[in-house]
Amino acid sequence: MRPPVALSIAGSDPSGGAGIQADLKTFSALGAYGACIITALTAQNTTGVYGIHEVPAPFVADQLRVLSEDVRLDAVKIGMLANAAIIETVAAFLAETPRDVVVLDPVMVATSGDLLLRDDAVRAMRDLLPLASVVTPNAPELAALLDTTEAGSVDELADQARELVRRGAQRVLAKGGHLDTGDEVADVLADPSGIELFRSQRVVTVNTHGTGCSLSSALAALRPQRPSWSSTVRDARSWLTTALEAADGLDIGHGHGPVHHFAQLWEGR
C-alpha cells in the first residue's frame, strides 16, 4: 500500500530536534512520506534560538503552489509561521484547497513565556483556526489564543479548550505538560461533541526539545492511518512517550536535547 503523504509547513532547526527536521523524522518513524515547506531559517541549538530569518510570504506561496500541483497531500502539519503575511498565505492555500487532515501547532510562546508573534500575527493565527482539523496548543498558547490567563489545572485547561471550540476551532488538543500535575500528564481533546481526557505517566528528562512539534506531526502522520481522532491521539501520545523515555540515550548538545524519534526503529540495531 502506498504510504500517506504528510506535509510540514514550518521553520528549520539546525540542531535537528524541532521544526521541519523533527516533523520529517516523525513522519518517517510513523510510516508517512514527508514533504516540507520552509517558512523560516533559524540560528539555534539545544540551548536556545539566536536568530530568525523569515522566508518572504510570496515565496512561501510559490512553494505551496508548485508542490500541491504535483504531489498528493494526505495530511498537513503547520508549525512556526513567523508573521502575519505568512499566516495569511497559508490560510489562503487551505481555503482554496481544503484538506481533510490539517494539524495546527500554534507556535506562539517561547519557553521563557515571551510571546513570539506580533499582535497582527496573533490575530491572523486566530483567523486560521477554523481551517485546521485540530489545533494543538500548550497551556500558554491556549491562553494567548483566548487572550486570558493561563490555565492552572486540568479542569481549567478543559474549559479553555471548549471555549476555543466555541470560537470556531473544529477540534482542540490542549496539552497539559505545563501544568503542575505531579507524576501524571493530562491532555484534553475537545470538539463540539464534548471532551476526552488522555492521561499518562510523566517522563522525567531534560531532553524535551521539539516535543510539541513531534506530537503534532505524529497526529498528521497517523490520522490517515487510524479510524478516528481519538485513536490517533492515543497512538501519537504513546509513540511520543517512548521517544521521551529514550531521549537521554542520544546525548545531543549541552542544553535541552531532542526526543528520540527513531527509538522503536533503532532498538537492537
212 is catalytic: yes
17, 34, 213, 232: which is the annotated catalytic residue? Answer: 213
175, 176, 232, 257: which is the annotated catalytic residue? Answer: 175
Residue-wise DSSP of 5-73: EEEEEEEE-TTSSSHHHHHHHHHHHTT-EEEEEEEEEEEEETTEEEEEEEPPHHHHHHHHHHHHHHS--
First CA to last CA distance, the chain: 26
Beta bridge partners of 174: 188
241 is catalytic: no
CA distance 267 to 246: 10
**Of all helices (H) and strands (E), which one includes residue 156?**
helix 154-166
Among 42, 31, 36, residue whose Cα is nearest residue 20: 36
Residue 101: Cβ within 10 Å count: 22
CA distance 130 to 17: 29
213 is catalytic: yes
89, 208, 232, 257: which is the annotated catalytic residue? Answer: 208
Which DSSP letter does residue 200 get?
E
17, 79, 212, 257: which is the annotated catalytic residue? Answer: 212
175 is catalytic: yes
Residue 19: Cβ within 10 Å count: 28
26, 39, 89, 211: which is the annotated catalytic residue? Answer: 211
Residue 211 in grid coordinates: 516535543
16, 34, 210, 257: which is the annotated catalytic residue? Answer: 210
CA distance 233 to 235: 6
149 is catalytic: no
111 is catalytic: no
Active site members: 175, 208, 210-213
